[in-house]
Structure 1
Amino acid sequence: MPVPFWKTESFGTIISYLISQLPATIGYPLADLIAHFAANDVMSPGHRAMRVNQWVVHGGKITPRKLRQVVRQAYYNQARAIYDFYHYLDRPNDVRRMVTMTPKFKAMMHEAMQEKQGTLLLMPHLTGFNLGGVLLPLLGFKILTLSYPNPTVGYRMQNKFRIDHGLEVEPMSVSSWQHARERLQRGGTVLTGVDRPQENQMYGPVFFGKPSALPVAYTQLALHTGARVFVVGFHTYHDRTCVLDVSDQVHMEKHPDPHEEKRLNAEKVLLEVEKFIRKDPTQWVMFFPVWPGADADLPARFRLK
């Protein structure tokens, strides 16, 4: 059955952009209204995935009522984050005011900008990543961002906005992967997400205690180029300000078994990702099922019929 246009990502992107042109006193309530409708569409694939993902992140130690509250808050956080992204794109002074960096992130950035060694930045989809990403080109930090392959119309619109405002974004492909490799070999910086699941993923790196469908190919990009590896995290506060943080360097290790090499190195990265998500799971906005079969483990009292 075809999805109604008003439920599509493209429609959501258009509406979000239009709302973002309004002042915050009007824009935030409208963003909340969109979040309200999305959070109540409990049978949608995105809602189902979010519910299971949050149940796993909480280790199953959460009541059905609390899980509903967490999922609902995640939708509200996402809607407001999207408003912030579009609203402040053309307001660089506001971006500098709203987004700060930890001393550790500043140190990593300054080292990366010297381009003496490639730097691979890996990130989860936390609500601050859009606004945080707007700041970096304002500071002269040049980053090649590898985005999800075969983007939908909505994603393409978002990427165009990013590119128009100084961000370098390429959907993952053979050619963009080669560009990333060359960039790292020249001492540049590459950024990509690590928490969106892939179909037919055979490595199953453990994430929050369960085998996941998350990607592992970035580990080979790091090993083949000798790049430094860091996990980037974001945290958004109640006043909508955001802080950029970074993990300690994650050291990739060789292994005689290529399969184990990818899995074990990915798990080292994912341990750092877990730390950032645990700070506030409602800021982790992943609407795709990360753990294959986890929905079958969901107790009956959590299921929505």
Structure 2
Amino acid sequence: MLTYWAFRLAGLVVPWVPPRLGYWLAGLGGSLAYRLDRRSARVVRSNLRRVLGPGATRVEIGRVAEQVFRNQAKNYFDLFRVPHLTLEQVERWVQVQGWERLQQAKAPGKGVIIVSCHFGNIDVVGQILAARREPIVTLAERLQPPQLFDYVVGLRRSKGLLFLPVDDMGSLKAMVRALRRNELVALAADRDVTNSGTPFPFFGEVATLPDGHVTLALRTGATIVMTFSRRLPGDTFAAYVEPPLELTRTGDFSRDLTAGMAQVVAMMEKFLRHYPDQWVYFQPMWPVADV
């Protein structure tokens, strides 16, 4: 319950904190957390070792890892700040590149699956979609205690996103219904919350990744569009909407799933290589190695 009350307190205080000061304090808190939370820091450095490659030095990996912590702390500041932004302020906060690609993906009328990862601030794309009146359904991992889950979901859906529990079977039916209405479903491609993913090469090593986004697209005919948000200097965001993926549908589901996963993974690798400090992922993607 301590975490719950800390979140409630932050929800009361953050709206009164000037953004520039708030982000500065959040960055400072992130640097402090990097030094104090040794387990998480070790996990992040281990993940980044694969992303940065064998040529990266310990100093370089440590510098990027600390920035990951700083960015994640700023994401928490965003969480409490966004509910108090107007839709017009959200539009000014996020620069969207490739919006027309989303409209192109909706043209067939079978819905769009927005696929992203824990990059930048994963909620930002959803917030800008909601700001532009695009109905969107996404999944949320349950938090404990339940009061914390309800509170965090309430903050995240303030602009109109519909969050469903990832472990509720009714969530799948709700996503299918949304796609049939030619609406949007948003799913993460780097976190296997339900432990039902598939082993797949990722930065040259096998990792267990979720495949529900590709499976859902193959089963429903929906289009996959990958999106990423990147925190910019000044703590605004660039949101990138990539061209719709062209999934193969040969009738061999296993082969089509593998081909679709390869496209998704390649796009994730591209963005993570360019901006490794934006990957705010704190779970072991591969076996943890000391760095």
C-alpha change, 1:268 and 1:73, in structure 2 (3 Å) is same
Equivalent residue number for residue 128 of structure 2: 135
Distance 1:249 1:290 in 2: 26
Match of 1:29 among 24, 27, 35: 24
What's the CA shift for 1:231? 0.8
Q: Residue type matched to 2:51 in 1?
A: V
CA contact (8 A) 1:126 1:235 kept: yes
What's the CA shift for 1:107? 0.7
Equivalent residue number for residue 215 of structure 2: 220
Structure 2 gap ranges (5+): none
- Alignment partner of 1:238 is 2:230: no
What's the CA shift for 1:144? 0.9
Q: How does 1:75-86 map to 2 (within 5 A)?
A: 75-86=69-80
What's the CA shift for 1:57? 0.8
What's the CA shift for 1:176? 0.5
Q: TM-score, normalised by structure 2?
A: 0.87
* Secondary structure, counterpart of 2:245 in structure 1: coil
Equivalent residue number for residue 269 of structure 1: 264
Q: TM-score, normalised by structure 1?
A: 0.84
- Alignment partner of 1:120 is 2:108: no
RMSD: 2.5
Equivalent residue number for residue 203 of structure 1: 198
* Secondary structure, counterpart of 1:266 in structure 2: helix
C-alpha change, 1:246 and 1:202, in structure 2 (3 Å) is closer
CA contact (8 A) 2:45 2:65 kept: yes
What's the CA shift for 1:16? 4.6
- Alignment partner of 1:68 is 2:58: no
- Alignment partner of 1:171 is 2:177: no
Equivalent residue number for residue 56 of structure 1: 50
CA contact (8 A) 1:231 1:246 kept: yes
CA contact (8 A) 2:118 2:280 kept: yes
Distance 2:84 2:227 in 1: 24
C-alpha change, 1:132 and 1:216, in structure 2 (3 Å) is closer
Structure 1 gap ranges (5+): none
